[in-house]
Chain A
C-alpha cells in the first residue's frame, strides 16, 4: 500500500488545518464524552496518564485483551473496501440491510474547506451492552476474556429485541444463519487464526480503523484513546452503553 500515510508524519499536521466549525464540534463532543468515559474523568485520565498505574485501568478495561477500535474519522474516504472485506470474510448475506459494518455520510456545508465527513460504524462491543441485557435466552453475550459481544446462534429465537436495544443499529437478522448477526471483530474468521487485525482494519487503505488492545498501554489504540492533543469521542454517549469503539481525527 504505497498510498498509506505515515502516522508519525501525519500527527503533526497541526490544528490550524481543522475548520472552525469542526473545532466547535470537537469541543461539544468533548463535553459529551466526559460524562460517559471513566466516570467523567476522561480528560484527567489523559492528563495524568504518565503517572497512572496499570491497575487503575484494569477496572476500566476489564478484559485481556480488551479489544477496541479507534476511527480516525477524517481519513475515511468511503472507498468501502472495509465493507467489501467484511462481507467476504464473514459471509455476510447479499440482501438489503445485511451488513456488519457500514459507512455513514454527513454533509458539512458550513465547515470551511470541508464538504462532507464519512463516519464508519460497527458494533461498539459495549461494556454495558443493551443487547445482552435484553436477550431472553442469552443468545448474545459478552465474551469473558476479550469483551467481544458474541452470538450463540442456536439460542437465538429471533425476537429481535437486541436490534431494538442497540443504539448503534449494529445488528440484523440473517435468514441464512437463522440468527441475528453482528460484528465480532472477526474473532472467529481472523483473530482465531493468528491475524492481528480485523478484516475491515486490514483492508482500509487510509488507516482509518485502528484495531488493538485497550488493556495494553503500548498498544496504538490505547495511545490514541489516551492522547491529549486531539479529542476522542464515542457515538451516542447518552445511551450509556460504554462503547469500545472510539472516534478521533488525524
Chain B
C-alpha cells in the first residue's frame, strides 16, 4: 500500500510539473513530437516502397545524411557520457551536478541515433537476428553496434541507479558505460578508418579523432542543455551548477584546441606530397566544393567562434556560453556531414583517369532524408523536454546542499 501511495505521489508530481509548464514548452513539445512523427512516416514509407525512390544515395555514395546524422548523435552521446563521467565516475567534485542530466541526454541522443539509422539501413529487421546468430568479429560495424547496445544498457542502468541515489552501482555502470562507449565509438571511427580503398578516411586517425571530437561535442551539448534546462524549469542555477558549467567550458576550450590541432595536421598531411585520393579530398575542403561548409561551419561555427566566446565568457557569462554551444552544435553537425561525404566523394577509380570518374561526386540530401534527420533532432528535443518535467530538472543531491 505504501508503494502504491509513493507511485501515486510520483505520478501526481509529474502531472503537476507538466501542468505548470508555459505555452512555449507545450509548443516545443508539439513541434518536436510532430518532427518525430513526420520522420517515422517518411522512413516507413521509404522502407516499404523502396529506399532508392526516396533517398539520394547512389551506388558510388551509398551513405547519405542519415549516416552523418547517426554519427553526430552517437558522437554526442559518447561525449555526454565521457565528460559527465569525469565527475560521477572519477570523483572530480566540480563535475558532479551535471551527471544526471548528461546521462539522461546521452540516452536520449543515442536513441535518436538509432532512430535515424533504422531508416538508413535497408533491412534493419534482419540486423536484430543476424547480428546475434552470424557475427563477424572482423567487422568494425558489428563491434560498434554490439558495443553501443551494451553501452545503452549501462547508461540506462546508471541513470536508474543515479535516481535511486545508489552511488556505488551507479559508478560501476558509469565506468562500464564509458568503457563500452569509448570502444563502440572508436570502432565507429574504425568503420571509416580501416577502409583501405578510401584514402581520406584510411588510417588510425579516425578512431582517435572520433573520441576527442566526442568529448568536444559533449562539452557543447552539456552547456547548451543545462542552460536550456534551467530556462525550461524557470529556475536559477545554484553555485555548484555554475561552477560545474565553468569547468565544462574550460574542458570545452581545451578540446576545441585539440580538434583544431588534429584538423590542422590532417589537412597538412593530405597536402604534403599530394597523396593520391586524399589530396583531392583535402583540396575539396580547402578551396573546392566543400570549402564553404568547411571554413564557415567546421572551422568558424564549430571551433573558432565558440573558442572566442568561451574565453570571453570566462565560464560565467551564460549568454555567451549558450550562443557558443549552439554555434558548436550546428558546426559539428556539418563537420560530421563533411566527414562522411568528402571521404565518399572521391571515386574509387579517380586515379584511373576514366571519363566516368574524373571528378569528385556530388550528393544532396533528398526531402525524405532531411525530414528523417530533422526527426532525429526532434526526438532529442522531445526526450529532453519530457525528461526535464518527468525527472524534475534532473536534480542531483549536491544541488540542494
Contact = CB atoms under 8 A, between A and B. Distances in A.
**Direct contact between A and B in the complex (CB less than 8 angstroms)?**
yes
The 6 A-B residue pairs whose C-beta atoms are closest, nearest first, are A158-B122, A167-B197, A136-B142, A137-B130, A97-B59, A160-B62
Contact of A168 (B141, B348, B351): B348
Contact of A157 (B130, B194, B347, B349): B130
A139 B145 CA distance: 16
B238 interface: no
A250 to B, nearest CB: 20
B51 A133 contact: no
Interface string B135-165: 1101111100100000000000000000000
A139 B195 contact: no
Contacts of A138: 130, 134-136
B341 interface: no
A1 interface: no
A136 B145 contact: yes
A239 interface: yes
A171 to B, nearest CB: 8
A164 B355 contact: no
B141 A134 contact: yes
B354 A169 contact: no
A161 B348 contact: no
Contact of A134 (B130, B140, B347): B140
Nearest to B357: A104
B316 to A, nearest CB: 45
A164 B127 contact: no
A130 B140 CA distance: 12
A106 B355 contact: yes
B198 interface: yes
Contacts of B353: 106
A169 B351 CA distance: 14
A172 B59 contact: yes
27 contacts: A104-B349, A106-B355, A119-B352, A119-B354, A134-B139, A136-B141, A137-B126, A137-B130, A137-B134, A139-B130, A154-B130, A157-B124, A157-B131, A161-B141, A161-B191, A163-B59, A164-B63, A164-B198, A165-B196, A166-B197, A173-B62, A175-B50, A175-B51, A178-B122, A178-B123, A235-B349, A236-B348
B235 interface: no
Contacts of A158: 121-124, 126
Interface string B327-370: 00000000000000000100111011111110000000000000
Contacts of A154: 126, 130
B348 to A, nearest CB: 5
Given A134-B191, A165-B197, A157 B121 contact: yes
Given A154-B126, A155-B130, A156-B126, A163 B62 contact: yes
B58 interface: yes
Contact of B139 (A119, A135, A167, A235): A135
A220 interface: no
A137 B142 contact: yes
Interface of B: 50-52, 58-60, 62-63, 121-124, 126-127, 130-131, 134-136, 138-142, 145, 191, 194-198, 276, 344, 347-349, 351-357
Contacts of A139: 130, 134
Contacts of A166: 197, 348
Interface centre among B50, B130, B191 (most CB of A within 10 A): B130
B200 to A, nearest CB: 12
A80 to B, nearest CB: 14
Contacts of B348: 166-169, 236
B123 A135 contact: no
A169 B135 contact: no
A97 B354 contact: no
A56 interface: no
A241 interface: yes
B196 A240 contact: yes
B50 A159 contact: no
B130 A165 contact: no
A156 B134 CA distance: 11
